[in-house]
Amino acid sequence: RSHFLRLKRGDKIIKKNKFCFLSSQSRISFFPIFLLFCCDWELLQVVLGGIFVLGLPFALVQSGYMGLVVLVLSAWVCNHTGRSLVACLYEEQHSSVSKVRVRHSYQDIMDACCKGLWLNWSVVGGWLINLAQVIELLMTCTLYLLVSTTLLCDSLSAVNLPRSACSLMSLMFLLPCLLLTDLRPVSTLSLLCSLAHILISLLVILYCLSCASNWSWSSLSLSVDPEDFIVSVGVIIFSYTSQIFLPPLEGSMEDRGQFDTMLGWTHGVACVMKTTFSLLAVLTWGPETSEVITDNLPPNLRPLVNLCLLAKALLSYPLPFYSAAEILQAFQLLCFLLFLDCYLCQGVSCLALTVRCALLVSSYLLSMLVPRFSLLMGLTGSVTGAAMTLILPCVFHLKLQWERLTVQDRLIDLAILSLGLICSVAGVICSVKGSIVLKFRYGVQ
């Protein structure tokens, strides 16, 4: 299987200070090329939820029976917006009925929509897309750090270390990320940990099935707290976010006509797995369901499971971390450092080290400011998740494909767009409010 990025004719590569930049003539997104090496399994892991699926049972407890509806509806909506986004990569030829792929990335679609609106709006659109990517990747890094801290606290509960010390220990484990030059070994280890994560999920399901005699449907309620429900919607949306990977993935397929089928099956399987996993956990533990479901496991199983998940979280951190750093370096947000030509060990430049230090410290500070896993997942889903998954694909589809859309398609896009805006604004307000209340009224445990 070929994992090489295919550049269009006319693209030029500019090498400067051992960094490779695509010229302005290139239509390839600044999203890091290395992601294409592990795109297939990493995308599947993202759609199926990855390690963040462990927070879905708690979200289901907070949202009740409506959460089950949201889990199923989100899969259908994300599948629809994914197809709409990929459809925007194509234009119909005037001389024939066939469609031609004229765009190659999320950024290309944004540029096409912004063209002609205002002077240099296409440039601004590219900046906004890259900014949204960096925010989402930074939030993902923060979530991995937060999960690592939670698991480390639980593993060292006998020592009774404060949470701040565990967070600092997790940060120390991640310091080697500053000197990364090749992610292939980390990607391989992360894949092995992903397989271990699947086994852990199966272990949780089997344990829940063994407790079937004690299941209680009273754990789910029709009446839920509105703020908790809105945060839970953000958590569920975040678990389905994969749109940023779809353009390069569709472009790498030998038979692109099978993309819609592949996407539909993927979201269908993800919906069944997430709903089953979450429902079984809620029926087993009810209101006692923890934010990270492995905390509910018996004491004899929890240490081994937590250590496996801790390794998975720490080894998964470099992937989004390196991605965000590459975007910032390629986009030259810190262009005032470009004149530096001194290199540290293993070929890491001053620019790269500065960007990576800023990202590492930012993720650490965010994990301290938003110490609740569910609140941070909800905030991420409400900000970048809703924007990249619900709002922008519908805007692109309506703008670029308006004349070819039926009335039903337009109404569906408008409905998803309106729903995405409401969920985004309300989710941000509720997540920030919940974080402030937890931080200043109750303190961090």
Nearest to 232 by CA among 274, 175, 200, 181: 274
Q: Distance between CA 140 and CA 134 in Å, rounded?
A: 10
Terminal alpha carbon distance of the chain: 48
Tell me if 74 sits within 8 A of 243, measured CB to CB: no
Q: How confident is the model at residue 438 (pLDDT cuts 50, 70, 90)?
A: low
Residue given tokens 């990576």 in the structure block: 356
CB 279 within 8 A of CB 121: no
In the numeric block, which tokens belong to residue 326?
């590459």
Residue 189: count of CB within 10 angstroms of its CB? 16
pLDDT classification of 46: cutoffs 50, 70, 90: low
DSSP string, 60-88: HHHHHHHHHHHHHHHHHHHHHHHHHHHHT
- Segment 69-95 shows an average pLDDT of 89
pLDDT of 11 strictly over 50: no
Q: What is the pLDDT of residues 356-401, one digit of tens each?
A: 888 999 989 888 877 677 777 777 788 888 888 899 999 999 999 8
State the Cα angle at 218 between 213 and 221, rounded to 5°: 145
Q: For all residues of the chain together, what is the average pLDDT?
A: 77
Q: Give the per-residue pLDDT at 397.
A: 93
The angle formed by the CA atoms of residues 173, 179 and 184, to the nearest 5 degrees, is: 85
Please give the Cα distance from 249 to 96 (Å, whole number). 26
Helix, strand or coil, per DSSP, at residue 20: strand
* pLDDT band with cut points at 50, 70 and 90 for residue 416: very high
Which domains are delineated in the chain? Answer: 29-442 (1.20.1740.10)
Does position 231 have pLDDT exceeding 80, yes or no?
yes
Beta strands in 81-203 (DSSP E): 90-92, 99-101
Q: Report the alpha-carbon distance of residue 423 to residue 151 in Å, rounded.
A: 30
> Strand, helix or coil at 246?
helix
346 burial (CB, 10 Å; 0-12 / 13-18 / 19+) is: exposed
Q: Which amino acid makes up residue 151?
A: L
Mean per-residue pLDDT for 334-346?
46
Q: Which helix (H) or strand (E) holds 13?
A: strand 13-16
Mean per-residue pLDDT, 185-191? 68
Element (H, E) at 366: helix 350-369
Mean pLDDT of 45-71: 81
CA–CA distance, 169 with 276 (Å, rounded to integer): 34
Q: How confident is the model at residue 78 (pLDDT cuts 50, 70, 90)?
A: very high
Q: With H, G, I as helix, E, B as strand and everything else as coil, classify residue 182.
A: coil
The percentage of residues in the chain with a pLDDT greater than 90, rounded to a whole number, is: 15
Length of the chain: 445
pTM of this structure: 0.77
| 3-state DSSP assignment of residue 101 | strand
Asked whether the predicted pLDDT for residue 173 surpasses 70, the reply is: yes
Q: How confident is the model at residue 80 (pLDDT cuts 50, 70, 90)?
A: very high
Q: Residue 348: its pLDDT value, please?
A: 56
Asked if 67 and 222 count as a contact pair (C-beta separation under 8 A), the reply is no
CB distance 163 to 368 below 8 Å: no
- Strand-pair partners of 14: 21
- Most confident by average pLDDT, 37-51, 205-219, 303-317: 205-219
b (16+ CB within 10 A) / e for 271-309: bebbbebbbbbbbbbbeebbbbbbbbbeeeebeebbebb
Please name which of 254, 271, 237, 236 lies closest in space to residue 40, comparing C-alpha atoms: 254
State the average pLDDT over residues 244-256. Answer: 80
Q: What is the pLDDT of residue 31?
A: 39
What does the block give as tokens for 314? 């720490």
172 vs 367 pLDDT, higher one: 172
Angle between helices 302-316 and 184-210 in degrees, nearest 10? 150
Q: What backbone torsions phi and psi does residue 341 show, to the nearest 5 degrees? A: -125, 25
pLDDT in tens, 198-223: 788 888 888 899 988 888 888 788 88
Q: pLDDT of 92-149, one tens digit each? A: 876 556 788 888 888 888 888 887 666 666 667 777 888 888 888 888 888 888 888 8
Residue-level pLDDT at 443:
52
Mean pLDDT of 257-286: 88
Condensed to tens digits (0 to 9), the pLDDT of residues 311-339 reads 888 888 887 888 788 778 776 544 544 44
